[in-house]
Amino acid sequence: MNKVASVSTSILHETEYVARLINYAVENQYSVAVWRLPNDPVRHLIISRKPQHLKRDAALEELEQGFIFAPFDRNNDTIYLPADYKFSFADGALKPAEDPVEATSYTWFEEQFTNTIAPHDAVKYHRIEQSTHHTVIPYIDLVKKSVHEIEKGTFEKVVPSRSKVIDLPLEFDIVYSFQNLCNAYPNALISFVSSPQTGSWLGATPEVLVSVEDKTIFRTVALAGTQPYNAGIDLKSVAWTQKEIEEQALVERYVISCFKKIRVREYDEYGPKTVVAGNLMHLKSDFTVDMKAINFPQLGSVMLQLLHPTSAVCGMPLEPALDFLYEHEGYNRQFYAGFLGPVNVANNINIFVNLRCMQLLDSKAILYAGAGVTVDSSPEKEWNETEIKFNTLLNVIRKA
């Protein structure tokens, strides 16, 4: 089977495969997802002919392999892209097929694209137009109002966000931008998702929401606090303010409260410790559960329902923070601060919070970022934090 996939397509580089497959999906109104997991050299692509709409209580463990894409608003359906065609790449080339879906996909590609040697140009993507975004004064006022509500006791923490519209470079190209993000941020999930229902989103997120390894080990993290990262800095010497330490502790408490709701007490916690995520540093704690030891095979699905949206992207307590954001944030987050990732690929589930992301329009893009606000927050510093987070993508896109 692998020989079939390598006869006439052996001359193709990964970028040519990916460009053709994305264009094929868009031209046929199919959905496509391309991703690379943190610290993994392998990149994956799936095409889905008919996305599914999942309810909140959907059992991930029972889904066929595919890619999940969920909005911030938990009242809206999650989009699931079953893998009708699936491809894996390493070292710039197509990998040998590792499962029946890949074997069938490679044969299909050979039949579909043989003798169609076309240059890699004008890679298409699905577009859904959006236009609203914050300017400087409204966001600073929003942070001030957030602090005022915290002082009143409405909530302990809230995470207001904003969007920013940018012009895409004339030479912008999805495939090369994706590769550049992979090179720039090895510790992040790099993803490109495009469908008629969602439009097109490109991102580099560091935050694991739910991970299930071989149906045995469950993992999640508490990630909060933000500082710029400069190459060569000694992470052990990084000092965090009381505000940042307390902000991260609130996220830890939120994760633990979710375990308590389902009476899971047998978990291991590591941290907090300073970690690097691209051009930023965060405080991070890791949580691990042996699912077999506690006989909880659907822990991933249950915790996903409980965790989303986490206090790291919304606030704490959850409901009053959510109500505040819906009333005062002033725009629709859409898929920013939702979640995404591969499900049941190689027998693993890897779902991340959709941070450091951008929605692609015709010649523009919308960037999204938020900042955790506590009683000690400075509105100007929170504004600067969102600017730094925007640069995660801007620094790469403008060099593309």
Which H, E and C letters describe the chain, residue by residue? CHHHHHCCHHHCCHHHHHHHHHHHHHHCCCEEEEEECCCCCCEEEEEECCCEEECCCCCHHHCCCEEEEECCCCCCCEEEEECCEEEEEECCEECCCCCHHHHHHHHHHHHHHCCCCCCCCCCCCCCCCCCCCCCHHHHHHHHHHHHHHHHHCCCCEECCEEEEEEECCCCCCHHHHHHHHHHHCCCCEEEEEEECCCEEEEEEECCEEEEEECCCEEEEEEEEEEEECCCCCCHHHCCCCHHHHHHHHHHHHHHHHHHHHCCCCCCEEEEEEEEEECCEEEEEEEEEEEHHHHCCCCHHHHHHHHHCCCCCCCEECHHHHHHHHHHHCCCCCCCCCCEEEEEEECCEEEEEECCCEEEECCCEEEEEEECCECCCCCHHHHHHHHHHHHHHHHHHHCCC
- How far is residue 192's CA from residue 26's CA, in Å, rounded to a whole number? 13
CA distances from 72 to 138, 210, 285, 307, 320 (A): 21, 15, 23, 12, 16
What distance in Å separates the CA atoms of residue 84 and residue 76, rounded to the nearest whole number? Answer: 24
- Do the bridges between strand 208-213 and strand 348-353 make them parallel or antiparallel, or are there none, so unpaired? antiparallel
Closest of 276, 232, 235, 278 to residue 391, by C-alpha: 278
The pTM for the full model equals: 0.93
Given the structure tokens 């889905």, which residue do they identify?
Answer: 48
**Segment 135-192, tens digit of pLDDT:** 546 899 999 999 999 999 999 999 999 999 999 998 899 999 999 999 999 999 999 9
Would you say 103 and 61 are in contact if contact means Cβ atoms under 8 Å apart? no
Q: Are 175 and 19 in contact (CB under 8 A)?
A: yes
Alpha-carbon torsion angle 147, 148, 149, 152, nearest 10 = 120
Task: List the one residue out of 78, 139, 134 whose CA is nearest residue 332.
Answer: 134
Q: For residue 87, report the phi and psi dihedrals to the nearest 5 degrees.
A: -140, 145
In this structure, how many other beta carbons lie within 10 angstroms of the beta carbon of residue 371? 25
248, two tokens: 């991260």
Q: What is the pLDDT, as a whole number, of residue 209?
A: 97
The backbone torsions φ and ψ at residue 136, rounded to the nearest 5 degrees and listed phi first, read -55, -55
Domain range summary for the chain, segments of one domain joined by +: 222-296
Interval 324-362: pLDDT, tens:
999 999 889 999 999 999 999 999 999 999 999 999 998
pLDDT score of 2: 40
List of the chain residues with pLDDT < 70:
1-10, 115-121, 130-137, 399-400
Q: How many CB atoms lie within 10 A of CB 132?
A: 10
Q: Which pLDDT score is estimated for 280?
A: 86
pLDDT averaged over every residue in the chain: 91
- pLDDT score for 256: 96
* Location of structure tokens 């100007």: 380
pLDDT at 122: 76
* pLDDT at residue 7 in the model: 37
Q: How many CB atoms lie within 10 A of CB 335?
A: 24
